[in-house]
A and B are shown apart, each in its own frame.
Chain A
Amino acid sequence: MGTLNQLVIGASIGAVLLLAALGLTFTFGQMGVINMAHGEFIMAGAYTAYVLQPLAGDQAVIVALPVAFAVGGVLGLILERLIIRRFYGRPLDTLLLTFGISLILQQAARDIFGAPNVQVDAPGWLTGGVDLAGVRIAYNRLFILVLAIGCVVAISLYLSKLRQGRRMRAVMQNRQLAAVSGVATGRVDQATFFIGSGLAGVAGVALTLIGPVGPTLGTAYIVDAFLVVVAGGLGQLKGAVIAAFVLGVLNSFVEFWTANGASFAKVVVFAVIIAFLQFRPQGMFVLKSRALT
């Protein structure tokens, strides 16, 4: 009973991590851009739901999903076009650059929406939960899990079925070869950044279901999301899914087992990732290549 309960909590932490990390794994994997502003795109998605609340009432969360995808995507596209474009091949510099952007976005949110946290009301049909083998699963957690799975399915269909998505995989696997084969890599980069940032917006909407919205919402998730990408392997959808859920479950179990749990969970997760990298230094799944690593 206790174990099952922790599993459920872990899966729901994992779903949130996965939503936050999905976009990152592609922008990081394909373009080598370490986008620290990704967390602020999450925050922008959450505020989108808040802004839509007076219009859409308690269905704001549902209405906000596509809108937040567009908001996050457009923000990402602007960032890519204006600045990040100049930084390809300098991954470490993009980290500092986008951290600057994230500071600006945070303060902008503070000036527009005020420093105190705001609340987005969940739709009525998401209150309550279902009892399964003696464990109560809240509907909002279940919704996030379904949303995360939906996003993963959508992306994997995009990557395998659509011409656009296949081009994206080509650029990810070998940028130069894709370029000489006639793929407009610049265009593909824009599409990747749009989709990756849009997913951050969707993640933001999901976060409104489990907590208040504030200017620093994104910073709480960005580090864990990066760890998921590192453990899962760059640009690896499968890796990100497995890593997110393993880290989520690990988190919930450590918190459960140790007395003063929450403070040890992060340390344990960090140690486990360092240990894991001893066996798989490039994460769970690696693109095969003959290049020196």
Chain B
Amino acid sequence: MLSPFRLDLLGKYLCYAIVAVGISLAWGRGGMLTLGQGVFFGLGGYAMGMHLKLQDGELPDFMSWSGVEELPLLWKPFANPVFALAMVIVLPVLVATLLGLLVFRQRVRGAYFAVLSQALAAAFVILLIGQQGLTGGTNGLTNFQYFFGLDLYEDADRRILYLVTALILGASYLSVRQLVRSRYGQLLVAIRDGEDRVRFLGYDPALVKTVAFAVSAGLAGIAGALFVPLVGLLSPANLGIVASLELLVGVAIGGRYSLAGAVAGALLFNYAKTIFSEQWPDGWLYVQGALFVAVMVWAPRGLAGLSHQFRDALSSRRKVEVQA
């Protein structure tokens, strides 16, 4: 049995792994390099966090600190658990669908899309920090006591929460795997590799890509909602440009084209991050930077793709690289 402290960390990694499943779908299968997953993670997380803050029926603590006396209108519906749970998925999916349709319809893609998604993350974080009285500003939302009847300070109750998180990770892995193997999944890969050809065959690539992007956003939202009770806080620092990129690194290391690789990579990366930050805090950025470079230079398919790369090298066939 893991100590409660390690179990806490494991729960956090599981959340990141759920995000990784979504990224693997959007980036690995769909070729959409999304640098703004933190936005969707945050939307889901804040929807859940707002509900948890309202459970005791009092005004959230940070509001009285910043001089807000009455519950803002935006917060009121989140007192309803069904509404809050729905918003965990609806908000990120809605934002992703809107952005996806607007952007993909105009055939904005590749690097342009990556830059735009990153700008979205930057704007989102600045907005959260600026609206101190509404969002808790830089500190974000903290101090949660209960999660749907579970006491978050009880080890036994926390274990149930991990179990739920692990189950949701399993369920999202299986459903995305099913999605990838379906006709839709094949279409998505076809669009990644030759968008114009697929368009000439009569499909609408914008729609197909938007669906994948929205699914990945929904998964990030769910992960964010689980992150809040597991970790006990959610602040803009968990959602910004750097945080969004860190969500991606695990997937890159594990292997973007492999769903299992993405999950394993996210778990491994975040575990390594914890270990290194404990032992050698100043050095972690060097290690992380070097990891990026090493993976991109020597193993663009990630760890899961190493055998593939090895096979290619053996048969010495000319590699036909997938153009991202």
Contact = CB atoms under 8 A, between A and B. Distances in A.
B111 A92 contact: yes
A153 interface: no
Interface string A85-109: 0110111110111011111101100
A274 B105 CA distance: 12
B292 A274 contact: no
B103 interface: yes
Q: How big is chain B's contact interface, by range?
A: 35 or more
Interface in B94-125: 99, 102-103, 106-108, 110-112, 114-116, 118-120, 122-124
B231 interface: no
Contacts of A181: none
B297 interface: yes
Interface residues of A, number: 46
Given A34-B111, A278-B102, A292-B196, A100 B296 contact: yes
Contacts of A175: none
Interface string B243-282: 0010011001000000000000000000000000000001
A160 interface: no
A101 B130 contact: no
B293 A278 contact: no
Given A263-B131, A274-B102, A274-B116, A97 B111 contact: no
A173 interface: no
A217 B125 CA distance: 17
A89 B297 contact: no
Interface stretch (B139-147, B167-175, B283-291): B283-291
B110 to A, nearest CB: 6
B33 interface: yes
With a 10 A CB-CB cut-off, give which of B35, B122, B126 has the most chain A CB atoms: B122
Contacts of B123: 266-267, 269-270
Given A223-B118, A266-B122, A97 B293 contact: yes
A107 B282 contact: yes
A292 B194 CA distance: 11
| Dominant SS among interface residues on chain A | helix
A227 interface: yes
B118 A270 contact: no
A263 B292 contact: no
Contacts of B241: 219, 223
Contacts of B112: 230
B252 A96 contact: yes
A223 B122 contact: yes
A260 B130 contact: yes
A26 interface: no
Interface in A58-93: 83, 86-87, 89-93
Contacts of B296: 87, 93, 96-97, 100
Given A103-B285, A223-B118, A278-B102, 6 more contacts: A87-B296, A92-B324, A95-B35, A267-B126, A277-B108, A293-B107
